[in-house]
Structure 1
Amino acid sequence: MSFEIKSSGEAYDVIIVGSGAGGGMASKILSEAGLSVAVLEAGGDFDPAKEEDRTQLRYPWESPRRGSGTPTRPFGDFDQAIGGWEIAGEPYTRSSGTSFDWFRSRMLGGRTNHWGRISLRFGPNDFKRSSIDGLGDDWPIGYDDVKPYYDKVDKLIGVFGTKEGIYNEPDGFFLPPPKPRLHEMYVSKGAKKSNIPVIPSRLSMLTRPVNNERGVCFFCNQCNRACQAYADFSSGTVLVKPAMAKGKVELYTNAMVRAVTTDDSGKATGVSYVSKVDMKEYKLRARVVVLGASACESARIMMNSKSKTHPNGVGNSSGMVGRYLHDSTGADRMAIMPDLIDRERYNEDGVGGMHVYTPWWLDNKKLDFARGYHIEYWGGMSMPSYGIGFAMDTMRKHIKDEFGNPSPNGGYGEGLKKDIRRYYGSTLGMSGRGESIPQYGNFCEIDPNVVDKFGIPVLKFTYNWTDHEIKQAKHMQDTFEEILTNAGAVLLGNKPGPESKYGLAGPGRIIHEVGTTRMGDNPATSVLNSNCQAHDCKNLFVVDAGPFVSQADKNPTWTILALAWRTSDFIVSELKKKNI
């Protein structure tokens, strides 16, 4: 059942805040263990197979904005990222001279409806970076602790790829990958000239059946719209809704959680939340509280959960809640491939993401920055939408006709249409996604002077990149230029320089924030133990990316899922032992 309002005092075995990767996995594992579970989601219900929610296979002209984005759909009118960096009535603030853009999702399944589904395991080195380069801290667990859960996630959800035998890019249980598309063959050729590896991607779309409840990918290249066949991984369709169908999970939508409630001993008793339907506050009770609201939102809830026993917020006796916030680095470069101008038109859609990628291939000990990055490749002939053709003036500067003259067509009307048809499918590019160094001085805290429309104190961010991230971005740009030039492409725009930090995306823009409730063996320097259990509150757990001690040069979702499963098994074990 799904509820928007529930009377105060309802009791459950477990309350889970958030329905994304971590919360969704916890809802499945805990409910299948026989526990009664309440899942609280700040947004609405969502099912991409329902006509009222479906955006997959819709044409641009079906949108009043021809697919252009809005503040609450920042990636496009059909993209299933409902939320954004700016949400009306839900502000956040920043310290003077710093920047951080915080993306919030407001829908069942959270960000898993939209993400690129790049499903990479962290490697053995990623859990022990401090031992390698002396920066940050090692995790209290290692790859061998998480590997059994990576294996389970692979088999449950499905991920395609190939076994490559790369030590820090661990192989898993893979479905067959799709073949490279034409633009990916070109960039692969350019990378090969530089001895840069390009291997099949590892994405969580089903190229083969894994169970009877989900369909198989039909290669429409629109995974960001959420799949009506459930062939891609979204937490709502793959984890939460199946758990609800078994009768042990109740979903509360439009429920904005204010705080974790505690008793006089400091033990969690449940949560209080504000219903967006009537703007009234309600309380739910539970034996265990699990936070999976996203790294920053879970930290916000914990810091706002003040009591006599927890004067700095629940689980925050160390003062470490909100500290060591860090996002992935990101930089991009785009080019046009003359060989692909006037190319033949055919369906090359594929999956909604890259078919090949480059894992980190160098030794940082020989470089002037400490952590690596991977490269994502993009291009091809996907469905045209708002924005196609907007860069014609830039392209004309670089592309000549058969006589060596700039494009003769006009910048409007028939000439513009002719240029767009010629150039469509000839652009390609690449994006770097890398690891940043966790810093105590990068953090979120409660702003004592600002509340949101629900009366809940908001977060204030303090964040700056270090020289390591800036030098890493420079290396990305040098690599992009080398690969694209080797491939025979013509670079578009000027190469980013030091004035723009070499095109380094602003903190928060890659939407991989981690580390605000990090795990550790020492309660004085960490928030959670190695089982994602709060040091100060034994029946409080965190299952999003907050527990991460460090980010890797990989996307965090597969590790969130694996850790959430591991933590859920621990919760079940501790309940059976009556330790919580």
Structure 2
Amino acid sequence: MDIPQLKKAPLIYDVAIVGSGAGGGMAAYMLAKAGAKVILLEAGGYYDPADPKYITQLKWPWESPRRGASTEARSGGDFDAAWGGWEIDGEPYSAKSGTEFGWFRSRMLGGRTNHWGRISMRFGPDDFRRRSLSGVGDDWPIGYDDLKPYYDKVDRLIGVFGSVENFPNEPDGIFLPPPKPRLHELMLRKGARSIGIPVIPSRLSILTKPINKDRGSCFYCHQCNRGCQAYADFSASSVLCIPAVKTGNVTLINGAMVREVLTDPQTGLATGVSYVNNRTLEEVTVRAKAVMLGASTCESARILLNSKSSRFPNGLANSSGVVGKYLNDSTGASRSGFIPALMDRKRYNEDGVGGMHVFTPWWLDNKKLDFPRGYHIEYGGGMGMPGYGYGGGIESMNSLVPGRDGKMKTGGGYGASLKDDYRRFYGAYVSMAGRGEPVPLETNYCEIDPNGVDKYGIPTLRFHYKWSDYEVKQAKHMQDTFEEIIHSMGGIALGPKPGPNTAHGYGLAAPGRIIHEVGTVRMGSDPQKSALNKYQQAHDVKNLFVVDAAPFVSQGDKNVTWTILASAMRTSQYYIDQVKQKNI
């Protein structure tokens, strides 16, 4: 039998970066600006939202062969800038012992940053010291002051709108003007504040004013999820990766499914990576003086666990045995409501930015509650542009609503009655979703499946994940709060209230479905309990770094992207300084 030969790249790069999302994109940008020669490996295809061949922004549903409907490879729909999803043909994963975890993969330049909600919040001082404050979980080896200078730089480099609120554990940033709240958001704010729940302007990385000559400002089409041809929102593809490539210092390789990090058997240092070309199935080696993993929380853990050798029998950077462990994803629960006061409105363009204009940060003291971590609330509603199949909730509505004769009725029907209800109820719905912080557990983990490989021959992951009682109690609090807010608006909560026997308890989303996972290659001061130091540098391999969310000790009650960007910038600067000092 012929032995397959590995194709070797002729160059030795300064750094090989795996993954082009928030972490990998920021590392590529920083290192390219510093003059390093970088190879950027992305498992998916090339993508530029301003290139006509990729533009779906401002197109009508009928311009899609599927009218915008989703497929396995386009989970968000035909117009959503998400190439990938929870299930990808030929790339399986499994769950262990009856547990559940949904692993979302993006296969495109810029990764998940092309289709995320652009919610861009800083972690607060308390988020880095949860064990010290509550006795539950672990503290980070760094604090807010370590990341604040980098948060500031990310704000200036990328742009984020918001308002200075001086709110506890919700640090203010360097903000662009926020968009004005729409009618349903004004009502949400008034109702929620009347029962002691704060509602403040959102913090989204969307440019309400230009910040440089390369990017335009938002024109309020509400289609950020499609990718912005004006570069007015943040995507790593348009704001970090493409500018990095333009410096001439970055070689971008698309379709590179990384198998493992290669090491020198004598020194144990990383010498490059091995990847499979996903079109030719040829295996290629890339040589580099340092390696940075930004492939995503679970993919980076998978690469390290697959990087076995006689020197590293349990996987690379894993002498502590923690790689793959302490996996955690945001909690999520939601509810919708019908607001009679919003019926029969005059129609006008209420699209706004691609997301919410207001939100609720965590406002309570967990010491007075029966769960130890908080959540924020994201709001939806209004008269946005209807999409294909848009029903405004009418055809699925179980609750009774007022008819034109004042009598209560079920919305919908057919013919003239259906059209009348569409017009009458359009814009009269609100939705709210809680996104909360779980307690990281060693028993929630991913590992190499001993019986599974993908179509590239790379061993796959197996997950073990269960919510604890803490997260279930948090979801119950979310549902109670949602109903209170809807009632404070004079609204009707739709459908039965989720109880303890629904979904994972009180409507709690399945693990992995919120797509905020962190923690599989955690940082720490003790090499026996962590894989990385405070600079996200491997304890065992000094020229190996992880720049996605895998190093994070905990989730926070915020979305994690802004912290990925700030920490990747900090790690990149540390690497640059160490090279100058000849320590790497």
Bin the TM-score by the shorter chain.
Answer: over 0.9
Query: Which position in structure 2 is the counterpart of 1:278?
Result: 280
Classify the secondary structure of the residue corresponding to 2:321: coil
Give yes or no for the alignment of 1:512 onto 2:516: yes
Query: Which position in structure 1 is the counterpart of 2:415?
Result: 413
Shift of 1:65: 2.3
Give yes or no for the alignment of 1:489 onto 2:498: no
Classify the secondary structure of the residue corresponding to 1:285: strand
| Alpha-carbon distance between aligned partners in 1 of 2:44 and 2:332, rounded to the nearest angstrom | 28
Give yes or no for the alignment of 1:154 onto 2:158: no
| Alpha-carbon distance between aligned partners in 1 of 2:152 and 2:506, rounded to the nearest angstrom | 38
Letter of the 2:260 partner, please give it: A
Are the counterparts in 1 of residues 158 and 234 from structure 2 also a CA contact under 8 Å?
yes
Give yes or no for the alignment of 1:295 onto 2:297: yes
Query: Which position in structure 2 is the counterpart of 1:316?
Result: 318
Classify the secondary structure of the residue corresponding to 1:8: strand
Are the counterparts in 2 of residues 121 and 170 from structure 1 also a CA contact under 8 Å?
yes
Give yes or no for the alignment of 1:205 onto 2:206: yes
Shift of 1:81: 1.3
Give yes or no for the alignment of 1:50 onto 2:51: yes
Query: Which position in structure 2 is the counterpart of 1:163?
Result: 164
Shift of 1:397: 4.1
1:67-146 correspondence to structure 2 within 5 Å = 67-146=68-147
1:515-554 correspondence to structure 2 within 5 Å = 515-554=519-558
Query: Which position in structure 1 is the counterpart of 2:3?
Result: none
1:195-344 correspondence to structure 2 within 5 Å = 195-264=196-265, 265-344=267-346
| Alpha-carbon distance between aligned partners in 2 of 1:389 and 1:119, rounded to the nearest angstrom | 30
Shift of 1:225: 0.8
Classify the secondary structure of the residue corresponding to 1:428: strand
Query: Which position in structure 1 is the counterpart of 2:354?
Result: 352
1:533-564 alpha-carbon deviations (Å, 9 max, x no partner): 00111100000000000110000000000000
Q: 1:504 to 1:417 in 2, by over 3 A?
A: same
Letter of the 2:243 partner, please give it: P
Are the counterparts in 2 of residues 394 and 492 from structure 1 also a CA contact under 8 Å?
no
Query: Which position in structure 2 is the counterpart of 1:17?
Result: 18
Letter of the 1:274 partner, please give it: V
Shift of 1:409: 7.9
| Alpha-carbon distance between aligned partners in 2 of 1:154 and 1:392, rounded to the nearest angstrom | 41
Q: 1:66 to 1:390 in 2, by over 3 A?
A: farther
Q: 1:213 to 1:390 in 2, by over 3 A?
A: closer
| Alpha-carbon distance between aligned partners in 1 of 2:518 and 2:10, rounded to the nearest angstrom | 33
| Alpha-carbon distance between aligned partners in 1 of 2:120 and 2:91, rounded to the nearest angstrom | 30
Are the counterparts in 1 of residues 202 and 358 from structure 2 also a CA contact under 8 Å?
yes
Shift of 1:7: 5.3
| Alpha-carbon distance between aligned partners in 1 of 2:256 and 2:385, rounded to the nearest angstrom | 36
Are the counterparts in 1 of residues 400 and 411 from structure 2 also a CA contact under 8 Å?
no
| Alpha-carbon distance between aligned partners in 2 of 1:395 and 1:138, rounded to the nearest angstrom | 45
Shift of 1:427: 1.1
Are the counterparts in 1 of residues 398 and 494 from structure 2 also a CA contact under 8 Å?
no
1:270-306 alpha-carbon deviations (Å, 9 max, x no partner): 0000001201100000001000000000000000000
| Alpha-carbon distance between aligned partners in 2 of 1:408 and 1:374, rounded to the nearest angstrom | 32
Q: 1:373 to 1:160 in 2, by over 3 A?
A: same
Classify the secondary structure of the residue corresponding to 1:39: strand
Are the counterparts in 2 of residues 117 and 203 from structure 1 also a CA contact under 8 Å?
yes
| Alpha-carbon distance between aligned partners in 2 of 1:275 and 1:61, rounded to the nearest angstrom | 35
Are the counterparts in 2 of residues 72 and 86 from structure 1 also a CA contact under 8 Å?
yes
Are the counterparts in 2 of residues 397 and 406 from structure 1 also a CA contact under 8 Å?
no
| Alpha-carbon distance between aligned partners in 1 of 2:7 and 2:394, rounded to the nearest angstrom | 54
What is the percentage of aligned positions where both structures have the same residue? Answer: 65
Q: 1:36 to 1:24 in 2, by over 3 A?
A: same
Are the counterparts in 1 of residues 395 and 411 from structure 2 also a CA contact under 8 Å?
no
Shift of 1:446: 0.2
1:110-131 alpha-carbon deviations (Å, 9 max, x no partner): 0000000100000000000000
| Alpha-carbon distance between aligned partners in 1 of 2:64 and 2:416, rounded to the nearest angstrom | 24
**Of 553, 557, 560, which aligns to 2:561?**
557
Query: Which position in structure 1 is the counterpart of 2:461?
Result: 459
**Structure 2 stretches of 5 or more lacking a match?**
1-5
Are the counterparts in 2 of residues 259 and 304 from structure 1 also a CA contact under 8 Å?
yes
Classify the secondary structure of the residue corresponding to 2:558: coil
Are the counterparts in 1 of residues 401 and 411 from structure 2 also a CA contact under 8 Å?
no
Letter of the 1:489 partner, please give it: G
Classify the secondary structure of the residue corresponding to 1:145: helix
1:364-383 correspondence to structure 2 within 5 Å = 364-383=366-385
Letter of the 2:458 partner, please give it: I
Shift of 1:404: 3.6
Shift of 1:166: 1.5
**Structure 1 stretches of 5 or more lacking a match?**
none
| Alpha-carbon distance between aligned partners in 2 of 1:369 and 1:244, rounded to the nearest angstrom | 46
Shift of 1:384: 1.1
Are the counterparts in 2 of residues 66 and 385 from structure 1 also a CA contact under 8 Å?
no
Classify the secondary structure of the residue corresponding to 1:333: strand
- Number of matched residues? 576
Letter of the 1:312 partner, please give it: N
| Alpha-carbon distance between aligned partners in 1 of 2:316 and 2:99, rounded to the nearest angstrom | 27
Are the counterparts in 1 of residues 394 and 411 from structure 2 also a CA contact under 8 Å?
no
1:449-498 alpha-carbon deviations (Å, 9 max, x no partner): 10000000000000000011000000000000000111011111110000
Query: Which position in structure 2 is the counterpart of 1:185?
Result: 186
Are the counterparts in 2 of residues 394 and 493 from structure 1 also a CA contact under 8 Å?
no
56-65 or 120-129: which moved more?
Answer: 56-65
Shift of 1:339: 1.6
Shift of 1:408: 8.5
| Alpha-carbon distance between aligned partners in 2 of 1:16 and 1:254, rounded to the nearest angstrom | 14
| Alpha-carbon distance between aligned partners in 2 of 1:533 and 1:301, rounded to the nearest angstrom | 16
Are the counterparts in 1 of residues 336 and 430 from structure 2 also a CA contact under 8 Å?
yes
1:483-539 alpha-carbon deviations (Å, 9 max, x no partner): 011101111111000002000000000000000000001111101000000011110
| Alpha-carbon distance between aligned partners in 2 of 1:270 and 1:370, rounded to the nearest angstrom | 42
Are the counterparts in 1 of residues 397 and 495 from structure 2 also a CA contact under 8 Å?
no
Q: Aligned-pair RMSD on alpha carbons?
A: 1.4
Are the counterparts in 2 of residues 396 and 406 from structure 1 also a CA contact under 8 Å?
no
Query: Which position in structure 1 is the counterpart of 2:390?
Result: 388
| Alpha-carbon distance between aligned partners in 1 of 2:380 and 2:393, rounded to the nearest angstrom | 17
Letter of the 2:98 partner, please give it: G
| Alpha-carbon distance between aligned partners in 1 of 2:58 and 2:85, rounded to the nearest angstrom | 23
Query: Which position in structure 2 is the counterpart of 1:194?
Result: 195
Classify the secondary structure of the residue corresponding to 2:131: helix
1:300-358 alpha-carbon deviations (Å, 9 max, x no partner): 00000001111111101111000000000000000111122221110111100110000
| Alpha-carbon distance between aligned partners in 2 of 1:271 and 1:410, rounded to the nearest angstrom | 57
Letter of the 1:20 partner, please give it: G
Query: Which position in structure 1 is the counterpart of 2:580?
Result: 576
385-394 or 345-354: which moved more?
Answer: 385-394
1:57-104 alpha-carbon deviations (Å, 9 max, x no partner): 111111222222111221221111111000000000100220000000
Query: Which position in structure 2 is the counterpart of 1:434?
Result: 436
Letter of the 1:254 partner, please give it: G
| Alpha-carbon distance between aligned partners in 2 of 1:284 and 1:185, rounded to the nearest angstrom | 54
Shift of 1:410: 6.3
Q: 1:410 to 1:106 in 2, by over 3 A?
A: closer
Are the counterparts in 1 of residues 394 and 412 from structure 2 also a CA contact under 8 Å?
no
Classify the secondary structure of the residue corresponding to 1:344: coil
